[in-house]
Each structure stands twice: as structure tokens, then as C-alpha cells.
Amino acid sequence: INVDTFRFSSAKVDKGVNVVEIWPATPDTMVLGDTAEKQITVVDTSTGGLHNTRKQDLKIYPNPTSQKLKLKSNQWELEKLTIFNDQGKQVKSFSKPAQSVLVGDLPKGLYILKARLASQSLDGAVITKKLILNR
């Protein structure tokens, strides 16, 4: 079987990496032979306009900064905050970050900040922002 695209409209699968078993079948659901296993990554695409609202709701300031980065979200709690350098290497990580984090030990440059949300309705959703550190 060579299939690269799957659509699940009402499947009970978790967001993230899952292993599914596939049965080739005719329209009247008669199974046609061997089964196959495929690893899939499930992404929730039913958020509509929520992605933009979510991204706009997380404020990071001041940006650029040199020492302390303040975080503000009126709607969602942050589960984890991870900072990557311009090479894609993780350089800092904060579990359940407070309203501010210290970044003064990092060299100046451009960074990518990924914030994972912890709210029940958006568990695991990630917001990505650019961060500039200057001196």
C-alpha cells in the first residue's frame, strides 16, 4: 500500500504521533486482503480562526530585549516555553513559566520561541514567536 494522505472526520485518535492499522476495503466495506500499519501525525485543523486569536493573545515584551522577557496571556496558561537559536538548536526551556523569564545569558541574535499551551481545550497547541536579543 502506498498512501500518504489520511483524513479522519470522527476518528478517536489523539493529537500527536499515532500508529493506525489500515484495511483496504470496497465501498460496501468488504475487506480486500492484507492490512498495513502506518505511523501518522494527527493535527487538529478544526480551530478555524482560533489560531490567529491564540497567536495574538500571547504577548512577549519587550522585544527586542537584553535581560528579561515578559509573557502575558489573558486566556491560556503556558505548559512549556522553549527557545531555539537561529540554527534550530534548543538553548533554553522553561516548564510552566512565570510571567517573565531571564534570557540575559544568551548571546545577542534572533531566536524562535515556542510556547505550548496547557488549557484543557487547547492542550498541546503551540504558539511560535520570533525573539530578538540585543545588548
List pLDDT tens digits, range 6-37. 555 545 656 656 566 666 665 665 555 666 66
For residue 10, give every residue at least 6 positions away whose Cβ sits within 8 Å of its Cβ, in sequence order, or none.
Answer: none
| Domain match, 121 and 60 both | yes
Same domain, 34 and 65: no
Mean pLDDT of 39-66: 66
Question: How many domains does the chain divide into?
Answer: 2
> In which domain, by residue range, is 54 found?
50-133
Q: Are residues 68 and 88 in the same domain?
A: yes
**12 and 77 assigned to the same domain:** no
| Most confidently modeled range among 24-33, 55-64, 115-124 | 55-64
Among 27, 43, 59, the domain-final residue is: 43
Average pLDDT (106-118) is: 91
**In terms of domains, do 62 and 105 share one?**
yes
> Do 85 and 103 have their domain in common?
yes
Residues 63 and 110 in one domain: yes
In this model, does residue 105 exceed pLDDT 70? yes
Please state the rounded mean pLDDT for residues 102-129.
Answer: 85
Given a cut of 50, whether residue 47 has pLDDT beyond it is no
One domain for residues 64 and 106 = yes
Q: What is the CATH number of the domain that holds 110?
A: 2.60.40.3080
pTM exceeding 0.85: no
- Please check whether residues 60 and 103 belong to one and the same domain: yes
